[in-house]
Amino acid sequence: MATALQFPANVSTLNNYNDLYPDWTQREVSTGTTIMAVEFDGGVVIGADSRTTTGAYIANRVTDKLTPIHDRIFCCRSGSAADTQAIADAVTYQLGFHSIELDEAPLIQTAASLFRDMCYRYREELMAGIIVAGWDKRRGGQVYTVPVGGMMTRQPVSVGGSGSSYIYGYVDSNYKTGMTKEECLKFTAEALTLAMERDGSSGGVVRLAVISEQGVERQVILGNQLPKFSTV
């Protein structure tokens, strides 16, 4: 049947036709993606691209991967869209309940722990890489990363998703401690743009959010307004 040219897996091909069924009927919906979060003094900046793919089909080109978990806590989702939505819903419920019991705003570390507990317990079934970020009164702006497998660690800057591999070098060289909110926004937008240009599973618009004591400000950078680089 499909005994046409058999290319070894490592040779790039121009077109991969499956002659029986289109690609998107056999693939899971994935937020193959680029997500990023940066701490600054007074809050965090989080960002994500907006592409959700089912195989080669872009199921949603304006996805919002920055999901609110509480008033000043957001999570950035990467991996399987279904898994991350389900986990985020469950954690939102648990955190809301906890916050009512506590009678005050929950800590970011608590939210991150809830994500970690779920991602670790069900690690065999889930495919989810999540960055939890926000502002609380005790420790200010914080970023916690919960990658696939269920580890949790706090980092001043964190990137995730399939596109993140391409920007490790850029982030390592450009991040400095003590950046202002505007510098963080510019840094995040540029890093996400570079990743979107190289990663086939990332693209669309750049969604950004700033979380601080004052609240949450969201913005969108459309395709034609993205920063430009000389080779890109």
| Catalytic residue list | 33
Cα–Cα distance, 104 to 109 (Å, whole number): 14
Tokens of 210: 């700033």
- Report how far residue 98's alpha carbon sits from residue 116's, in angstroms, rounded to the nearest whole number: 16
From the CB of 44, what's the least distance to another protein, in Å? Answer: 17
**Closer by beta carbon to another protein, 16 or else 177:** 177
| Run of H or E residues at 155 | none
Residues near another protein (CB under 8 A) are 7-12, 147-149, 165-173, 175-177, 190-191, 194-195, 197-198, 229-232
| Residue 192 near residue 65 (C-beta atoms within 8 A) | no
Contact in structure between 127 and 79 (CB atoms under 8 Å) = yes
Task: Rank residues 15 and 231 by Cβ distance to another protein and give the closer one.
Answer: 231
Q: Where are the alpha helices (H) located in the chain, listed in sequence order?
A: 81-102, 108-121, 168-174, 181-198
Please state the closest distance from residue 199 (CB atom) to another protein, in A.
9
User: Please, which residues bridge with residue 220 across strands?
Assistant: 207
Least distance in Å: CB of 79 to another protein? Answer: 10
Measured from the CB atom, the residue of 107 and 159 that comes closer to another protein is 159
Shortest CB 214 distance to another protein, Å: 27
Of 174, 101, 172, 160, nearest in space to 129 by CA: 160
Task: Give the residue with the Cβ less far from another protein, 153 or 214.
Answer: 153
